[in-house]
Every structure is written in C-alpha cells, then in structure tokens.
Chains A and B, each alone.
Chain A
Amino acid sequence: MADNEFDFSAIETRLGVSRRTFLKFCTGVAASLGLGNNAAYAMAEAVADRKKRPPVIWLHGQECTGPTEALLRSEQPSLEHLILDLISLDYHQTLDAGAGHRVEEIKRHAMQEHKGKYLLVVEGAIPLAQNGIFCKIGGQTMTDATREAAEHAAAIVAYGSCASWGGVQSASPNPTGAVGAPQFLTDKTVVTIPGCPPNPANFIGTVLFFVTYGKLPPIDEKGRPKWAYGRLIHENCYRRPHFDAGRFATEFGDEGHRKGYCLYKLGCKGPETYNNCPSLEFNNVGGGVWPIGVGHPCFGCSEQGTGFHKALFSLSDVKTHTPPNTFPTIDAREGTSSATVATAAVAGVAVGAALGASAVAGRKLGNRDADQE
C-alpha cells in the first residue's frame, strides 16, 4: 500500500461497513454528481476524516417529516449510519433522543460554538401570517428560529418542497402564509432540494460535495443543484418515445395505459418538472418504482407552481418543446435535399453537353457551307 493512500481501517469499525462497501457508496454518489473517481476518493477521505464533519442544525417547520423519513429509509447500505456519521447532527427535532428545554439549550450552545461553520438544514415551510404564530417550537416561532440559525450558518439547505417553496400548505388559500426558506431568507443563498419527499440521494450528494470541497455545488436560479435538477423529467422519461409518436393513455386501465403509453393526457407534469426521477426513481426504492414507472402521471411534487397548485389531471406545459428547438419557422420551405442537388447537377451536365454538341454541329455546318462556296 502506498504511503499517501488513506487508511480506511478506522471507518470500518466506526461505521460498521466494509471498506469496499464504503468506497462503492462514495463512487456512486460521485457518479450521480457527474464526478469521476478522484472525486469519489476525495469524498471518501472527507467522510473518513472526523475533523471534517460539519456540525448540522436541522430545523422543522410546517411539514410531515417526510424528507427525514425518506432519508432514514434509504435503500443504500448503512445509509443512516453514513448520514449520521458524515455530519455531526447537533440538533434535529425528529431524531434527537432528548426533548424539551435541554435540547433547545444544546442547539443554542452548538450554534454559538460552531459560529459560521455549521450547516443549516431547513425542513418544512415557514408561516408568515400573523407574525408566524402558526408554527412554534420551544416557544419560538419558526420565523425567529430560522432567522436566528441562518445568521451564522456556513451554508443553508432547504430540504423538501415545503422548505424550498412552501409545499402543500402554500396551496391556495394558504391561510398561514406559508413560504419556503428562499422566500423568507431573501438575503441569503439557500440551496433547495425540492421533492415530496425529495430523493435522499439528492441531499446526500449535495452535502457530500459541501463536506469534500467546502462549497456548494453549482445551482440554478431557484437554488437547485444543477446535477440533480438540471433536466426535465420528460427529457429522460422512458415513455417519451410514446409521446413523440402520439401514443397516449387516455384513461386508467385502457389499452394505451396497459401498453405503457405516455401519460401526458392523464395530466403528467413531467414535461414541466425538473428532477432526476427517471434515473434515480423514487427514494431509492428501486425496481422501476416511481410514479411514471407504476403508471401514474407525475404530480410535479418538486416544481414550484405545479405540485399542489395545478389540478392533478390538468395538462402541463411542455417545456422541452420551446424554441430554439427543431421547429420550422413560419416561412420555412422544404429545402433543397441532396437528391435535388444531384438532379440539378445531372441536368446541368446534360444542358452543357447539348450546348457543346450544337456548337460543334453549328461549326461543322458553317465549314460545310464554306466548302460548298
């Protein structure tokens, strides 16, 4: 073994997984981020190094704890060990063993101790109506708790649709004035991992990137990591060829539905929802299990203005089919194909030959006339 190679023996005992399983996990995460083997190794080192573990403050607002539950039930080996060990989870209302004022005290203490270094994860929407009285934890409103924790956070991650843009409680008429963390913390950069629940792989990948490189991965204008939310579900959907060929299921259980045709007519929101469900499926369940995989139209749970806002069976806007795409313009005419160019060339040669022949014939005739004279 080379001297510079990292010793993973400690992690085997610490996490209770083999070195091989651990490296496989890191490679998998790096691959889904679009990074190579070097990055996987860097991630493995970062996770194995206990000093690099960032302290995490995890807040819950208006929500069902779905994102946390999804994270805990992840299918990858020993994931809960990894997630709990790769970060130092100092405060998490669902997972903390303790309760009451003691836990709140620990939170304040941790925030003080790791000022400017901790990672803030917000889960759940923040109600703004009536000074935020609709959500209180330990006598503190969610608005106050979020602002307090965000003040000295190294990075802020909004995990789940509720935290990203408001989720189900922001649907009309939104009596509590629920908004997501980016709408509340307008002066901060908030990375959003929307989904209801979001895929834990999207969260772990983002956090691992942060742990490894000390910065957040590239994000789009809605704060979503581009590696996970860069493409529409429609772009990678395996029912897409049916869409292009005009084969649609028109009602549940009809012939088209049984044959696996496109679910667009049933209100699939895949054409307007950015997520990586077609490649990662739903919450790492595997086996083709995700809404479109089991024959249900996409609900658009991760997309602001779509999930919980548009009716389930209403048609979505097809964002892939926008210019510039391969559409002929209004005044486009069928261009000259290679066949007609060839035809023109042949015709040109023929005309040229005829002209030449007549010129020669003309000269010969002229000569004959001259001879006769």
Chain B
Amino acid sequence: MNRRDFLRASLGSAAAALTSSGASARPNLTPAPEAIGMLFDSTLCVGCKACVSACKAVNGLPPTLLGDDVQYDSARDLSHETYNVIKVYTNGKPVAKDSETDGFAFEKRSCMHCVDPGCVSVCPVTALVRHPLTGIVTYDKDACIGCRTCMTGCPYNVPQFDYDNPWGMLHKCQMCNQKGVERIDKGGMTGCAEACPTGATLFGSRTALLEEAKRRMQLRPGEIYNYPRGDVRQPSSHHEKAVPHYQHHVWGEKEAGGTNVMHISSIPFDKLGMPPLGERSHVSISEGVQHTLYSYMALPAVVLGGLTWLVKRNTDDEGDDV
C-alpha cells in the first residue's frame, strides 16, 4: 500500500462511518415518566424578583453586588451564585407591558431541565445526571472533575463555574432537589414557584403544565381567567386576570427534544434571547456520530493501524539510508 492508497482508504472509511452514523443516530430522548417541571408565563411576571430572593435563600447563595454603591442583590445573569435571574426585554419607549414595540417584558433565566440534556451527554464522569423518574438534572460535586465541558454542551448557557474559587465547582439549578435540600422528594415545590406572587412561575408535572399552557393559548384575549399559583395540580390559591395576547408557542414543548421548564410569552422567543433550536436534539446527533465512530473501538483501531504502518515505513526508509 502506498501513501496515496492509505490516505484514500482512511478517508473512505471515515466517510463511511459518518454516513452510517446519520442513519444510526439515536432519536430524541422522551420525557421522564413522572417528569417534574415549571411553567414560566412572562405575561404574569411583575418583576418583583421574589423568586430570585427565594432561590438564594433555599440554596444558601450570597447576594451578587454590583459594586460598592449597590449593596443589594443585583445579579445581571446566571453565575456561580445566581441560579435564577429575571431579565427585561425593552423596545423603543418601554411603556406597555408585553408589547413587542414600545414595550417591555420580563423573562426568567434558569436551568431548563432539558428532556435530552446536553450537559449530561457531554459530562465525561457522569457528574450530571438526569433523574430516571422525575427528569430533574442534578449535579454531583464529588464526581465532577471541573472540566467545564457541560458549559459548552448547554444551549442555554446555564451551568456556571466558580472561577474565583481554587476548589471551584459547577453551579446550576437542581430544582431544589439536591442533597440536603430535597424539597421535591419531601413533597414540596421549588422555592421560586412557592414565592411567586402571581403564579408566573408555576410548579407541577410536565404533562399538567403543558396542558395548562395550551389551555391559556386557547383563551380569548381580554377574557378573565383564574390563574393558579404554586403547584398547578393543587394550587395554593388563584387570582383573576385578563388574558393577554399569547404567542402560540410553548417554548420547551419540542425545542431540541423539549424541556421540563417551559416558557410562554406574548413576545416572540428570539426577542427574549432564546437560542435558535430545531426540534431535533443536538445531543441525539452528536451522540449518534460519536457512538458510531467509537463502536467496538473500530475507528481508533483503524487509525492506530494506519499510524503504525506509517511509522514503520518511515523508520524503514531511515534504515535504508543509513
């Protein structure tokens, strides 16, 4: 085999591997059987940030200060000390709430608890795990090696690393169910949903929340609807409010395989900073490629063989010269 043939053969086998991977890629994961989630209704949010306060209290996080002048919690984005933040969309003269032009709207940022989570897929040491029953994506700091690959695997920029700490670890929302908190296991709900005064953050099973979101979209704008607060399956209370003009889109129903934390809004989601994601989860594609390439260690074996052959040929040449 000459050099030309070798290169042709290796390219050919790589191409074959890639083509076959397209066919054999796994489908999107499906929601966990008893998936727990939250529904964020941007039109209900009044920006009180009670959810941010509650989150910090439950998770024992310090306030994020802007500097010496602002001595209260004023986090600008998710960070190692902020698992949940309220952001604002503004356009023109921001006077009308939930209006795309000359208006403003609030948007929440927190872990979406993907049905097919990128962070779990890329984690080399299984420190991030999707719970088989509830679908909650949790993090094990004892297993984590601090490689931060999960930060690149997440389409929502959720996992955050504590760079200032020499023993830094990863930080993200674990739906108030991490070791030592376990609010869900104890039959409670997340801190943010419990604190929310308007029901903008609603807790519940993914199925019930999806049903609630779709029900709201069927309502006529202006009609009075009795909005639940707390847990959608057994609300702590209700309040009446006129129905806004919803976008007929539940973010998280299908995006990249879906999420357990879903959003609805009267502003298109690209304006609210949601990434452009298709229905196909990126994880299913990347795992398909990777798992095909490495199945039975075939490709590494081929590459190793080729390299060995090259080295051997080169050393033989050297031997001839001497």
A interface residue numbers (CB < 8 A to B)? 243-246, 248, 250-251, 264-265, 267, 271, 311, 313-315, 317-318, 321-335, 337-340, 343
Known: A334-B75, A340-B164. A246 touches B239 (CB 8 A): no
Q: A329 to chain B: which residues have CB within 8 Å?
A: 87-90
Q: A334 to chain B: which residues have CB within 8 Å?
A: 64, 75-79, 82
Q: How far is the CA of A333 from the CA of B54 in the complex (A)?
A: 22
Count the B residues whose beta carbon is within 8 Å of the partner chain — how many? 44
Q: How far is the CA of A51 from the CA of B237 in the complex (A)?
A: 61
Instruction: Decide: A338 and B77 in contact? CB cutoff 8 A.
Output: no
Q: Tell me which residues from 79 to 95 in chain B have a Cβ below 8 Å from any Cβ of chain A.
A: 79, 82, 85-90, 94-95
Q: List 28 A-B contacts (CB under 8 A).
A: A244-B48, A246-B48, A246-B49, A246-B54, A246-B195, A246-B197, A251-B237, A264-B48, A265-B229, A314-B240, A315-B46, A315-B239, A318-B47, A321-B48, A323-B94, A325-B47, A326-B74, A327-B87, A328-B85, A329-B90, A330-B271, A330-B272, A330-B273, A332-B76, A332-B87, A333-B76, A334-B75, A343-B164
Q: A338 to chain B: which residues have CB within 8 Å?
A: 67
Instruction: Decide: A327 and B88 in contact? CB cutoff 8 A.
Output: yes
Which single residue of chain A is at the shortest CB-CB distance from B79?
Answer: A334
Instruction: Decide: A330 and B89 in contact? CB cutoff 8 A.
Output: yes
Q: How far is the CA of A285 from the CA of B82 in the complex (A)?
A: 45
A253 to chain B minimum Cβ distance, whole angstroms, is 14
A-B pairs under 8 A by CB, number: 105
Q: A324 to chain B: which residues have CB within 8 Å?
A: 90, 94
Q: How far is the CA of A50 from the CA of B236 in the complex (A)?
A: 62
Tell whether B51 is near chain A: CB-to-CB under 8 Å: yes
Q: How far is the CA of A324 from the CA of B198 in the complex (A)?
A: 22
Instruction: Decide: B97 and A311 in contact? CB cutoff 8 A.
Output: no
Q: A246 to chain B: which residues have CB within 8 Å?
A: 48-51, 53-54, 195, 197
Q: How far is the CA of A250 from the CA of B197 in the complex (A)?
A: 9
Instruction: Decide: B197 and A265 in contact? CB cutoff 8 A.
Output: yes
- Main secondary structure, interface of A, reads loop
Q: How far is the CA of A340 from the CA of B195 in the complex (A)?
A: 33
Q: A331 to chain B: which residues have CB within 8 Å?
A: 273
Q: How far is the CA of A128 from the CA of B197 in the complex (A)?
A: 40
Q: How far is the CA of A324 from the CA of B195 in the complex (A)?
A: 24
B88's partner among A245, A313, A323, A333 (CB-CB below 8 A) is A323
Q: B231 to chain A: which residues have CB within 8 Å?
A: none
Instruction: Decide: B239 and A267 in contact? CB cutoff 8 A.
Output: yes
Which single residue of chain A is at the shortest CB-CB distance from B86?
Answer: A327
Instruction: Decide: B76 and A335 in contact? CB cutoff 8 A.
Output: yes
Q: How far is the CA of A324 from the CA of B74 in the complex (A)?
A: 14
Q: How far is the CA of A330 from the CA of B70 in the complex (A)?
A: 21
A172 to chain B minimum Cβ distance, whole angstroms, is 13
Q: B54 to chain A: which residues have CB within 8 Å?
A: 246
Known: A315-B198, A317-B97. A332 touches B77 (CB 8 A): yes
Q: How far is the CA of A326 from the CA of B104 in the complex (A)?
A: 13
User: 19 extra interchain contacts, Cβ-Cβ under 8 A, other than A314-B239, A328-B75?
Assistant: A245-B50, A246-B48, A246-B50, A246-B195, A248-B195, A265-B237, A271-B46, A315-B46, A317-B46, A318-B46, A318-B47, A323-B94, A328-B87, A328-B88, A330-B273, A331-B273, A334-B78, A334-B79, A340-B164
Q: B50 to chain A: which residues have CB within 8 Å?
A: 243-246, 248
Instruction: Decide: A323 and B90 in contact? CB cutoff 8 A.
Output: yes
Which single residue of chain A is at the shortest CB-CB distance from B227?
Answer: A315
Interface string of B257-280 (1 = CB under 8 A from A): 000000000000001110000000
Tell whether B312 is near chain A: CB-to-CB under 8 Å: no
Q: B272 to chain A: which residues have CB within 8 Å?
A: 330
Most B CB within 10 A of own CB, among A248, A321, A325: A321
Tell whether B248 is near chain A: CB-to-CB under 8 Å: no
Which single residue of chain A is at the shortest CB-CB distance from B89?
Answer: A330
Which single residue of chain B is at the shortest CB-CB distance from A338?
Answer: B67
Q: How far is the CA of A332 from the CA of B67 in the complex (A)?
A: 16
A333 to chain B minimum Cβ distance, whole angstroms, is 5
Q: A314 to chain B: which residues have CB within 8 Å?
A: 239-241
Q: B163 to chain A: which residues have CB within 8 Å?
A: 340
A300 to chain B minimum Cβ distance, whole angstroms, is 15
In the A-B complex, the 4 residue pairs with the closest CB atoms: A246-B50, A321-B47, A327-B88, A246-B195
B107's partner among A248, A265, A311, A330 (CB-CB below 8 A) is A330
Known: A315-B241, A318-B46, A322-B104. A330 touches B88 (CB 8 A): yes
Q: A248 to chain B: which residues have CB within 8 Å?
A: 50, 195, 197
Which single residue of chain A is at the shortest CB-CB distance from B160?
Answer: A334
Which single residue of chain A is at the shortest CB-CB distance from B95?
Answer: A322
B247 to chain A minimum Cβ distance, whole angstroms, is 16
Q: B197 to chain A: which residues have CB within 8 Å?
A: 246, 248, 264-265, 315
Q: How far is the CA of A323 from the CA of B92 in the complex (A)?
A: 11
